[in-house]
Amino acid sequence: MNSEANWAQAAQQMQETLGEGLKQAMSAMAGVGLGTAPGFAQLGMPELPKAGPPLQLDPAKLLEIQQSYLQEASALWNGGLQAAGAQAAADRRFSAEAWHKNPVAEFAASAYLLNARTLMGLADALQGDAKTRARVRFAVEQWMAAAAPSNFLALNADAQKKAIDTQGESIAQGLTNLLHDMKQGHVSMTDESIFEIGKNVATTEGAVVFENEFFQLIEYKPLTAKVYEKPFLLVPPCINKYYILDLQPDNSLIRYAVAQGHRTFVISWRNPDESMAEKTWDDYIEHAVIQAITVTQDITGAKSINALGFCVGGTMLATGLAVLAARGEKPVTSATFLTSLLEFSDTGILDIFIDEQSVQFREMQMGQGGLLKGQDLASTFSFLRPNDLVWNYVVGNYLKGETPPPFDLLYWNSDSTNLPGPYYAWYLRNTYFENNLAKPGKLTVCGEKIDLGKVDLPVYIYGSREDHIVPVAGAYASTQLLPGKKRFVMGASGHIAGVINPPAKMKRSYWTNDKSAQGKFAASQADWLKGAQEHPGSWWTDWSDWLKGQAGKQIAAPKTYGSRSYKTIEAAPGRYVKARA
């Protein structure tokens, strides 16, 4: 490639080749969406709404990408197989020794990484609105993650070496694993046979003291001689199971609350079946959130309680409190919101899935009845991090014949739940798409015009810094909506690992801001962070100190579960949490 003509021809070929890759990736999100791309449907690849108008590439950026590609490709080719290793070694998918001992495989990995960088550069060079560009970038990321040579036995040097070393046993075991996962309906992320709900996860001692068609209410056995007079109710998200808050004794937020002297109750959601296919958002607020508050009061005799909502559970708790406020009732003294959205202007990566067309489709599909299958939702969340939560296990389980190690959090992650269609369709339109919950008087829920500005009580708001489901700025936005005394705390890590961070392990950090502690909240989380102070360890201790200030005096711990009107139904964790989707 010495002449300008050859360089021009190479540039044209590169543009056509990579342009075709970009075209294929973009076409995957056109029509019915990514879910129909070859081989993706079987893995549950999430669907995206139809692509918008034709997109244009920035000519200057395109030229820059072309030149960069040609330089790197020329260096890779001229350097030969010996020079390929440096480019692939840094990527975890190609870091095994077998890749470096096989020059052809190493070269293929390096060439793939170069093409992936170039495709992502092309995606970033697209001109258009931010949402469309984000969709294209997401589609390209999915396509490139799926096309990695590590995902194919014919190209994966590490899997080939294992097949030779085990005399083919790894391939046989991989086929067995594949058949097992096809039968169970999802890719195994952990050895699920190791875990049993109530035996080695969800083990905090307690009893079910109330149930209806929506939930069971669990009361936990006190671990202290005295408890605070105001009981504590946890509202977990109904899009997954409550025991994320009670995995093991040493990382259980529920057990921690009990050990701090709180008389603790938790909602355990029923896993919906066809009998609940017509249940609505209003049903869940009236007959679950508000009902649980009332029953907790009745059992304990308390005039008011403290409550916590996690993720969608926080959105539901806030909605329930707004309904009660509209009725002139104030049964909750304080509320904690963990990685919850009340103001939906910043929804992060999930925004790419939401537009009028997609919302209308869901409304027509299941707005009057039906179920959103739990595995569909779980797959969407997994593909937000495809290399870590999908292809990593495809390679390990099927190409290498490995059994993933036992991990309680990943067992919970695979234990999906269904959602009633009308509930889901209402939630999509009125929160993620139209942000109506943040608009005073816009929504009527349970027969009441609701206004979060009337939910006037002390609140503790927590957001995780690396949360890709509830961006920390989105969690912070609740400080601008709720009128009561507020405390905002940011923790390190993501949506789950940031929340489940017990003090005893002394992991990570959290941030507070003294000015916000005095009620002076900046307009944005970025401005709040400028005056924030980092603290080593878990935010749980900060929250515990705050909650004790809301919990009243201490009284003798109860000797039995429930009350005369609410007898023990069964031991915790109860039947509902054990039902599979």
Positive or negative CA dihedral for 147, 152, 155, 156?
positive
Q: Which domains does the chain possess? A: 4-45+53-165 (no CATH), 206-350+431-578 (3.40.50.1820)
Distance CA 401, CA 165 (A): 12
Among residues 484, 424, 461, the alpha carbon closest in space to that of 343 is found at: 461
Tell how strand 448-449 and strand 570-571 pair up.
Answer: unpaired
The beta strand positions in 389-470, using DSSP E, are: 419-420, 444-445, 448-449, 459-464
291 close to 434: Cβ distance less than 8 angstroms: no
C-alpha 362/C-alpha 422 separation (Å) is 9
Q: Is 567 left (phi over 0), alpha (psi -120 to 50) or beta?
A: beta
Specify the pLDDT at position 71.
85
pTM for the structure as a whole: 0.89
pLDDT at 185: 84
pLDDT given at position 87: 63
Q: Give the DSSP letter of residue 197.
A: B
Q: Give the pLDDT confidence score for residue 418 in this predicted structure.
A: 96
Per-residue pLDDT tens, the chain, 581 aa: give them: 444 444 445 444 444 544 454 444 444 433 323 333 333 344 444 555 555 556 778 888 888 988 888 888 888 877 655 555 566 777 899 989 999 888 888 888 988 999 999 999 998 888 888 888 889 999 999 999 999 999 999 999 999 999 999 999 999 999 999 999 999 888 999 999 999 999 999 999 999 999 999 999 999 999 999 999 999 999 999 999 999 999 999 999 999 999 999 999 999 999 999 999 999 999 999 999 999 999 999 999 999 999 999 999 999 999 999 999 999 999 999 999 999 999 999 999 899 989 999 999 999 999 999 999 988 888 888 888 899 989 999 999 999 999 999 999 999 999 999 999 999 999 999 999 999 999 999 999 999 999 999 999 999 999 999 999 999 999 999 999 999 999 999 999 999 999 999 998 888 999 999 888 777 899 999 999 999 999 999 999 999 999 999 999 999 999 999 999 999 999 999 999 999 88
- Residue 68's contacts (CB-CB under 8 Å, 6 or more residues apart) are 118, 121
**Predicted local distance difference test score (pLDDT) of residue 526:** 95
Euclidean distance between CA atoms 181 and 209, whole angstroms? 37
pLDDT of residue 435: 97
pLDDT score, position 84: 54
262: left (phi over 0), alpha (psi -120 to 50) or beta: beta
**What tokens appear for 15 in the block?**
């543009």
* pLDDT value of position 82: 56
Give pLDDT, residue 14.
44
Distance CA 73, CA 68 (A): 8
The whole-number pLDDT of residue 78 equals 77
Catalytic residue among 145, 209, 311, 317: 311
For residue 337, the 8-state DSSP code is: E
Amino acid 22: pLDDT: 47
Helix (H), strand (E) at residue 448: strand 448-449
Distance between CA 407 and CA 477 in Å, rounded? 33
What is the rounded distance in angstroms from the CA atom of residue 198 to the CA atom of residue 188? 21
Look up 446 and say whether it is catalytic: no
What's the confidence (pLDDT) of residue 286?
Answer: 98
